[in-house]
C-alpha cells in the first residue's frame, strides 16, 4: 500500500497495512526548525540551513530526504504568503538566538528592541507598528495587540473582515502548482487555504495587517462572544461568504490533487475546561462550520480537518454534526480526553489525527523509554479499525531532545513492524 492509499484508507475507517505518519503536513503537525536541523544531523543528511516555513511558530521545512528517513505519509502544501503578510520567497540566512543558522523569507526583517526582544512587522513594513514579538532567548513569536479603546457606537463588523478578500490569481496559480507538486510525491496531500478559521485567536489580532481595525484584542474577542454575539455573527457570516467564493475558485484549480483540508484551528478547550459552552458553540460556530463542510463534501473529495487543543470531548459530537471528518491534535493529557474513552465513544465516526505522544511533558522531558512506551500504547488504542493517523500532540517544540524524537519515530515503526 502506498502512502496516499494508507492515509485515505485510515480516513475511511478501514485498517491500512500500517499506521500512517504525518510530520510537517501542516502548521499544527510541524517541527520546530531547530529540531528539524537536529534530526538531519542525527540521520546523517546533508548539512544545510533549514527553511523557516512558518515564521510565527518557527516551524522548519521537512525536506524530502528527511521525510524518507522518518517514513512520512503526508505531504503538506505551502501557501504563498505567511500570516504576517509577506511571501515565502527570496530566502536569506538568519541566525537564531542559540546561534543556529536558518533560512527565512525576504520579508522577515525583525528588529531588536531595548530589551533585546525581536519585533516582527506586518508585510515586512518597518514603518508600521510591529505585530509580533520573540522574547530575548525565545523560540517563536507572540502576537502584539494593537487595538485602541473601543467605541461601542462605532464598532463595525466590516473592520474585522479586512483580511478576508477574494483570492488573487497569483495565489490561485501558486496553489495549483503546489498541489501538483505535492501530488507527485505519492503521499496524501494536506492543504490549508485560509479564510475558514472562524474566531481563531491566532488570527484575530491581524498580525499581517498594517493597521488592524475592529476587535483585535484576544481578551476582548472572548468577552464579545457573550457581550456582542450579533457582532460575532456578522463577522462570521461575512467571512463565510468570502470563504465559500474562494473555495469555489480554489477547487477548480487544485481539484483532486488535495486529499485533506485544514478548515479551522480555533481552540475550544483549555487543559481542564473550555472557552465556551456547547450551547454557545452551536449558536455561534456551528452554522458556519456546517456551510463550509457541506460545500466541501458536496463539491470535492477532500476530507475536512478540525484542529482544537485541550479538553474538547464534549465538543466532538457537535464537530461530527458540523461535518468534520478529522480531529486534531487529540490532546490526551487534557481533562476527559483519555484515549480509551475517545476510541470507545467516537471511534469510527471521526478520524483521530494526532495523540501519538504528549508534547508538553513526555516528549520534551521524558526518557526515550517513556516516549516509546507512550507511543506504543497510543497506537494500540487508536489504530485498530483504521481512523488514525499518527503524529504528536501538536508541533514538536524547540528544546525537545533529538533522542526522544527518534524514540517516537522508532516506536511507531516498531508498532508497524517496519525494519528501519
Per-residue pLDDT of the chain (420 residues; tens, 9 = 90+): 999 999 999 999 999 999 999 999 999 999 999 999 999 999 999 999 999 999 999 999 999 999 999 999 999 999 999 999 999 999 999 999 999 999 999 999 999 999 999 999 999 999 999 999 999 999 999 999 999 899 999 999 999 999 999 999 999 999 999 999 999 999 999 999 999 999 999 999 999 999 999 999 999 999 999 999 999 999 999 999 999 999 999 999 999 999 999 999 999 999 999 999 999 999 999 999 999 999 999 999 999 999 999 999 999 999 999 999 999 999 999 999 999 999 999 999 999 999 999 999 999 999 999 999 999 999 999 999 999 999 999 999 999 999 999 999 999 999 999 865
Across the beta sheet with 388-389, what order do the strands follow?
74-76, 188-191, 260-264, 303-307, 326-328, 351-353, 388-389
Q: Find out whether the peptide bond into 8 is cis, omega within 30 degrees of 0.
A: no
CB atoms within 10 A of CB 394: 20
| Domains (range + CATH), the chain | 3-31+150-416 (3.20.20.210)
- Structural contact between residues 395 and 28, judged by C-beta atoms closer than 8 angstroms: yes
CA distances from 297 to 45, 156, 177, 198, 301 (A): 40, 33, 23, 19, 6
- CA angle centred on 211, ends 206 and 213, rounded to 5°: 70
DSSP letter for each residue of 174-228: HHHHHHHHHHTTTSEEEE--SS--TT-TTTTT-TT-SS--SS--HHHHHHHHHH-
Distance (Å, whole) CA 248 – CA 246: 5
Q: How far apart are the first and last CA of the chain?
A: 17
Distance (Å, whole) CA 25 – CA 31: 10
Helices vs. strands in the chain: H and E counts, helices first: 13, 15
The pLDDT value recorded for residue 148 is: 85
Distance (Å, whole) CA 353 – CA 356: 9
Amino acid at each position: 500500500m502506498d502512502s496516499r492509499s494508507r492515509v485515505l484508507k485510515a480516513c475511511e475507517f478501514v485498517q491500512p497495512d500500517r499506521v500512517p505518519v504525518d510530520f510537517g503536513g501542516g502548521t499544527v503537525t510541524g517541527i520546530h526548525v531547530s529540531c528539524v536541523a537536529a534530526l538531519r544531523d542525527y540521520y546523517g543528511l546533508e548539512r544545510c540551513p533549514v527553511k523557516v516555513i512558518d515564521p510565527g511558530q518557527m516551524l522548519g521545512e521537512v525536506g524530502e530526504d528527511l521525510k524518507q528517513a522518518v517514513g512520512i505519509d503526508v505531504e503538506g502544501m505551502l501557501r504563498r504568503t505567511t500570516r504576517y503578510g509577506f511571501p515565502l520567497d527570496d530566502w536569506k540566512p538568519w541566525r537564531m538566538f542559540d546561534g543556529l543558522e536558518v533560512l527565512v523569507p525576504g520579508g522577515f526583517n525583525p528588529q531588536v528592541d531595548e530589551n533585546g526582544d525581536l519585533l516582527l512587522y506586518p508585510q515586512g513594513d518597518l514603518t508600521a507598528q510591529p505585530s509580533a514579538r520573540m522574547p530575548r532567548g525565545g523560540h517563536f513569536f507572540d502576537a502584539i495587540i494593537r487595538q485602541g479603546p473601543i467605541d461601542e457606537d462605532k464598532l463595525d463588523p466590516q473592520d474585522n473582515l479586512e483580511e478576508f478578500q477574494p483570492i488573487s490569481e497569483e495565489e490561485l496559480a501558486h496553489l495549483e502548482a503546489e498541489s501538483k507538486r505535492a501530488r507527485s510525491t505519492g503521499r496524501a496531500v494536506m492543504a490549508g487555504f485560509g479564510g475558514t478559521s472562524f474566531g481563531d485567536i491566532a488570527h484575530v489580532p491581524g498580525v499581517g495587517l498594517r493597521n488592524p481595525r475592529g476587535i483585535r484584542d484576544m481578551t476582548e474577542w472572548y468577552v464579545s462572544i457573550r457581550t456582542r454575539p450579533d457582532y460575532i455573527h456578522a463577522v462570521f457570516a461575512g467571512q463565510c461568504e468570502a470563504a465559500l467564493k474562494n473555495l469555489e475558485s480554489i477547487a477548480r484549480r487544485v481539484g483532486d490533487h488535495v486529499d485533506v483540508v485544514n478548515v479551522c484551528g480555533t481552540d475550544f478547550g483549555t487543559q481542564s475546561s473550555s472557552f465556551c459552552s456547547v450551547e454557545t458553540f452551536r449558536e455561534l460556530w456551528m452554522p458556519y462550520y456546517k456551510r463550509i463542510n457541506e460545500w466541501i463534501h458536496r463539491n470535492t473529495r477532500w476530507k475536512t480537518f478540525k484542529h482544537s487543543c485541550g479538553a474538547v470531548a464534549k465538543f466532538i459530537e457537535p464537530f461530527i454534526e458540523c461535518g468534520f471528518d478529522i480531529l486534531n491534535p487529540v490532546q490526551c493529557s487534557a481533562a476527559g480526553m483519555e484515549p480509551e474513552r475517545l476510541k470507545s465513544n467516537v471511534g469510527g465516526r471521526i478520524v483521530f489525527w494526532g495523540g501519538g505522544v504528549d508534547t508538553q511533558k513526555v516528549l520534551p522531558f521524558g526518557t526515550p523509554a517513556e516516549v516509546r512506551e507512550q507511543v506504543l500504547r497510543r497506537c494500540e488504542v487508536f489504530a485498530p479499525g483504521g481512523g488514525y493517523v499518527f503524529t504528536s500532540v501538536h508541533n514538536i517544540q524547540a528544546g525537545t531532545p533529538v533522542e526522544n524524537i527518534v524514540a517516537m519515530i522508532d516506536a511507531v515503526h516498531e508498532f508497524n513492524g517496519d525494519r528501519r
